């Protein structure tokens, strides 16, 4: 893995452990010679992860839509800031640039980005690893919800397994590095119904 995209909150949240883990994730990527691709802002967890990577001598590439430039306050010290025209272009660019994605805690934007990567994966549109860093239990309710989707027949086990979950950065990176995407498609074949 040479480049990873990190999706995370444009807010800092209220849990200092989460903020620290965002910084630590940036630093760990740098130490492993993995370039960071992210949303390009200097605010919230986005700023923490970028500052972490840059402070450890790593590279941070931001992808920011023009219209968000002032709202999310562009980071001024990035290795590269790519300005795009729309949110769709931003996600496409972030996807194109990376070998995998990690979601940290965040709000609607983070969830939307994470779930789009998952839905693209279950359709077989990409084979990249998708990691969820469950910082201080933030994602426990989501992990339980996803298990409920499987139990109630809305999600296949093989698709649930596409989301790699861990409480620690090193374990998550290990899982991502060794991830092999399944060849099975989402759609049930007519003969199997
Ligand atoms: P949030 O998790 O809501 O703080 O947002 C995290 C990042 O996702 C921010 O850079 C938002 O601009 C971005 N974002 C918000 N909504 C969307 C969306 N519909 N599509 C893509 N990115 C979004």
Q: In the predicted model, what is the mean pLDDT of the chain?
A: 94
CA distance 53 to 174: 19
Model pLDDT, residue 192: 46
Q: For a pocket test of ligand 1, which of 5, 12, 112 has the largest count of ligand atoms closer than 8 A to its C-beta?
A: 112
CA distance 130 to 112: 14
Longest dimension (CA), the chain: 56
CB 106 near ligand 1, within 6 Å: yes
Alpha helices by DSSP H, the chain: 16-31, 44-55, 87-97, 108-122, 140-151, 157-160, 169-177
In sequence order, the 6+-apart residues with CB closer than 8 A to the CB of 186 are: 122, 123, 124, 156, 159
Which atom, in ligand 1's list, is nearest to the CA of 110? 2
Residue 116 · residue 91 · CB < 8 Å: yes
pLDDT tens, position by position, 35-53: 999 999 999 999 999 999 9
Domains and CATH numbers, the chain: 3-192 (3.40.50.450)
pLDDT tens, position by position, 151-163: 999 999 999 999 9
Closest-CA residue, ligand 1 atom 23, reads 109
Q: Exposure string (b/e) for 6-15, b if CB count within 10 Å is 16 or more?
A: bbbbbebbee
Model pLDDT, residue 183: 84
pLDDT at 181 over 50: yes
Mean of the pLDDT values across residues 106-110? 98
Rounded distance from Cα 111 to ligand 1 centre (Å): 8
CB 11 near ligand 1, within 6 Å: yes
What's the token pair of residue 33? 């010679």
């Amino acid at each position: 893995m040479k480049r990873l995209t990190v999706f995370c909150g444009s807010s800092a949240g209220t849990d200092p452990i989460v903020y620290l883990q965002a910084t630590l994730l940036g630093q760990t990527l740098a130490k492993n010679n993995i370039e960071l691709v992210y949303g390009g802002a200097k605010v919230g967890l986005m700023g923490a992860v970028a500052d972490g990577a840059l402070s450890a001598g790593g590279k941070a590439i931001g992808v920011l839509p023009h219209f968000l430039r002032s709202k999310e306050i562009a980071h001024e010290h990035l290795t590269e800031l790519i300005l795009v025209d729309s949110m769709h272009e931003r996600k496409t660019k972030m996807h194109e640039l990376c070998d995998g994605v990690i979601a940290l805690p965040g709000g609607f934007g983070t969830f939307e980005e994470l779930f789009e990567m998952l839905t693209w994966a279950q359709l077989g549109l990409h084979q990249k690893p998708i990691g969820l860093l469950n910082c201080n239990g933030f994602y426990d309710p989501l992990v339980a919800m996803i298990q409920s989707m499987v139990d109630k027949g809305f999600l296949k086990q093989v698709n649930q397994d596409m989301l790699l979950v861990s409480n620690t950065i090193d374990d998550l990176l290990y899982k991502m590095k060794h991830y092999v995407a399944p060849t099975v498609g989402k759609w049930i074949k007519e003969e199997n119904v």
